[in-house]
Amino acid sequence: MSPRPVAPVQALILVDLQAAFVTGANPVPQAAPLLERVEDLLARARESGALVVHLQNDGGPGADDEKGTPGWELHLPADTHRGEPVLHKTVDDGFEDSPLEDLLRDAGVQELALCGVMSEMCVRATAASALDLGFRVVLPHDAHATYDIPPAEGISDMVPAATVSRVAEWSLGDEVEIIARAATLDFTKP
């Protein structure tokens, strides 16, 4: 994790912060502190004039985030007065089959931060694509989360969510900028 000051970013991408995952019957562990940190990031991004993009997963029939159900709703709604886009997706990667890259490039964004859920799935996939596309990516460690991985007989015991999140960060390699605390990240206009 980066011990030095981190340069500001021009965009904040909120990944799948949907009711099913952060406030529903089965939220990710530590959902309340996660939401506090994300709400702070969002307020500071908006205040600075940075681009804010919301990703929303359209889950299939029976999924906790099934499109149109209460669990599918964004916990932190987009600010329509500011023109914050909500991009819908059905795969982990927020760039796949979506206008996200064009939206970022048209706004002049070169540097972005990601927060949200699930660390090893949608957050990681979107971060990896952003890096592949040449964006500078900052990932605040305390602003993304996931679930514990259940035990698998003959394979492993339960893997705690915090470990899963850290492995997801590690798997992104040395190009991503992982910072310990979201509170240390600043934003700027694109």
How many CB atoms are closer than 10 A to CB 182? 22
Catalytic site includes residue 115: no
CA 96, 98, 101 angle in degrees (round to 5)?
Answer: 85
Which residues does 78 contact at the CB level (< 8 Å), separation at least 6? 52, 54, 84, 85, 86
In the Cβ-directed half-sphere of 183, how many Cα atoms lie within 13 Å? 4
Judged by DSSP in three states, 92 sits in coil
Which listed residue (45, 112, 122, 185) is catalytic?
122
Residues 112, 118 contacting (CB under 8 angstroms): no
Catalogue the active-site residues.
122
